[in-house]
Amino acid sequence: MPIRPANLAAKMRPLTALARRTRPSAAAPGGTAAEAPEQVAPEARPEAREEHAEAAPEESGHEDATPQERRPSPYERLGGERSAREEELLGTLPGVVRHHEHLAEARRTLLPVDRRNGNLAEVSEALRAAGLPHGIVPDRHPRHRLAIRPGDRPAVLEALAAAFAGQAVYADLLEHGRTLTTILAEQLPGAVALLEPAEEPGLEAGTEAAQDGGADQDQDGGAPQEQAEPIWPADRVKGVRIYRPAVIDTLLYGPETGCDLEFWDSAAPSEGAIASIDETPFGWWVPSLEATATTTIGGRSYPLLDVFAASLPEQVDFPVDAVITWVDDADPTWQARRAAARARLAHTAAPIAEEDGVAESGLAGDADQRFRNRDELRYCLRALAANAPWIRRIHLVTDDQTPHWLDTAHPGLTVVPHRALFAGTDAGPVFNSHAIETRLHLVPDLAEHFLYLNDDVFLGRPLVPEDFFLGNGMPRYFPDDRIIPPGGTDSGDSVYVAAQKNTRRALAAVVGKTYPHTLKHSPHPLRRSVLAESAERFAAELHDTVRSPFRCAEDLAPVTLAIHYGHATARTVEGRLYDGYFVTDSTEDLGRLARLHEERWADYFCLADGTRDLLSPEEQERAVTDFLRTYFPVPSPFELREPAPAPQEADGAADRS
């Protein structure tokens, strides 16, 4: 489950109201590739599905029993004990508040990776202090995973209960593909004993036997009372997920930041052990759980199962950078440069396609919507810090502009001016993303592998490098369902469609393949060397695009060109991520943001400027800013520190920023 929102109803009420508004009547462009189709929220990612099955099994008991006669199920008993204990803790733990079903630390700043690593550190230290062996199991999921030796489960449960006694630390009890229930970590030994029936005679006892048999003795020591019918098949606690919840404004860090401890099964009479919940990179069986190797996570060393002390072919072990393009349309100096470029091109003014918006200059690539700055960059950086902490360095490409809040001294950030990229050319100031993209491979100190994003594209939940690259370095690309109409350009094409047609024609002439689909509005995984080769191979075709001040119908789309060129030459493969596309002048799309905020189902999403202004720019800015502020409330390391707000009374953690 992704990071959960807090106080969602109040925060998202403005967007929900927008969805109920009557949409202004306007002729929508029909059958064109200029707008993405409406996205339907997909199912949760496969690795997260088990978290959606947290409901306790059906309660046991006889249907004809009266409420007075019915005995509480083990799940009800555990829930009642947990609730009573939470009330006790709430009055004694400073900085801890109740948020829905959890007690949570109220924090102002905390990144998901720090909470994940913190949970791992606390669990590993508790096991180390108790002398209990454990080892990291590599996994593509961002959550950490530890293997526990067969027979060590009782000792591990006792160690965790002791280490987290009196603290707001939770444990999800895990079985195959589901969470049985959630308890406080201090409840662990008794909870597991309650949920697991006594072993049948002849079966292995001891490490897996329930300690009280799940039956209550009569107060006078007589025979056990009738035991509630066991769940069939009998519940088996195969692992536990330990986490210390934290709430930051609208975000709750819960089980998705937890540390999983898996109680592996013996492979007797064979050697080795068998994974209890999920497969490993080597399958279910490993010859040994020895963990003399180490791995470094968050600057700390942890034991690693020896069998995994190797570089696996799917692992990305090379650096990955990010490149973001950004413009501030409110900058007077930039406005003057743009006005001068308009004047020089005034003689080329022509009718503009509806999909290109409204441009007073008569230049299709000069519509105001293309340059609006709603502070998206701040939240684009927050998204990278929260969901891709493995990015080595971020390169911000701007036209000699820097937002006032940006910490330009941060070692993980470089600001790259346009003039550095266009040095040695006769290109003047450009206001054209196509022109800028022809020069991305010239960004100084850029890693061979990088993600290219516009500032209106946001990572929506934690991802790993393998979501974007194969272990051999090959990028994944994300084709859209939209198809660029066949044939050459015509006067009715938008500059977007015209550029895609030009790109397709130029590529087909060289590689002999025609690519009908355009690309999604996504983070684009790229290789610097392939981008440079594409720029050289198509230098003649790109000559005018490099020098084009505004987007125009003669442009090529350089990133589309490089990605499809890489695919045609066997250096790029198709990838798949869940994405969302929202047009900011659409009341329907803005209303859909509430569901995205609540479920956080998108791996990435784009908030695209509308070209028809069905909502006023002020309404769009207010809706977009409110959404981004609540979706990404945690400042990134690239923001200058702001003074802490004065203390104030708050009704629950969600009001504490």
Q: Among positive and negative, which fits the CA dihedral 549, 550, 553, 559?
A: positive
Asked whether residue 37 carries a pLDDT value surpassing 50, the answer given is no
Amino acid at 362: G
Please write the tens of the pLDDT for every residue from 500-550.
999 999 999 999 999 999 999 999 999 999 999 999 999 999 999 999 988
Token pair in block for residue 656: 């504490």
Amino acid at 555: D
Beta-bridged to residue 302, according to DSSP, are 295
Domain ranges of the chain: 6-41+317-631, 47-59+74-216+227-308
How sure is the predictor about 267, in pLDDT bands with cuts at 50, 70 and 90?
very high
Res 339: pLDDT? 87
Annotate 275-297 with three-state secondary structure: CCCCCECCECEECCCCCCEEEEE
How sure is the predictor about 47, in pLDDT bands with cuts at 50, 70 and 90?
very low
498 or 2, which is more confident: 498
- The answer to whether 394 and 384 are in contact (CB under 8 A) is yes
How sure is the predictor about 49, in pLDDT bands with cuts at 50, 70 and 90?
very low
My answer on whether omega of the bond before 67 falls inside 30° of 0, hence cis, is no
What is the Cα–Cα distance from 478 to 293, expressed in whole angstroms? Answer: 37
Res 356: pLDDT? 64
Res 225: pLDDT? 42
Q: What is the mean pLDDT of residues 227-236?
A: 48
What is the Cα–Cα distance from 196 to 182, expressed in whole angstroms? Answer: 15
Res 177: pLDDT? 84
Q: What is the mean pLDDT of residues 172-176?
A: 94
Res 141: pLDDT? 87
What is the Cα–Cα distance from 38 to 446, expressed in whole angstroms? Answer: 35
How sure is the predictor about 78, in pLDDT bands with cuts at 50, 70 and 90?
very high
Res 351: pLDDT? 66
How sure is the predictor about 643, in pLDDT bands with cuts at 50, 70 and 90?
low
Please write the tens of the pLDDT for every residue from 183-228.
999 999 999 999 986 544 333 333 333 333 333 433 343 333 443 4
Nearby residues of 203 by Cβ (< 8 Å), 6 or more positions away: none
Please write the tens of the pLDDT for every residue from 460-489.
999 999 999 999 999 999 999 999 999 888
Nearby residues of 525 by Cβ (< 8 Å), 6 or more positions away: 449, 450, 451, 468, 469, 475, 476, 477, 575
What is the Cα–Cα distance from 415 to 394, expressed in whole angstroms? Answer: 9
Q: What is the mean pLDDT of residues 229-245?
A: 75
Res 365: pLDDT? 73
What is the Cα–Cα distance from 533 to 638, expressed in whole angstroms? Answer: 32
How sure is the predictor about 345, in pLDDT bands with cuts at 50, 70 and 90?
confident
Amino acid at 151: G
My answer on whether omega of the bond before 269 falls inside 30° of 0, hence cis, is yes
pLDDT > 90: percent of the chain: 65
pTM of the shown model:
0.82
Res 615: pLDDT? 83
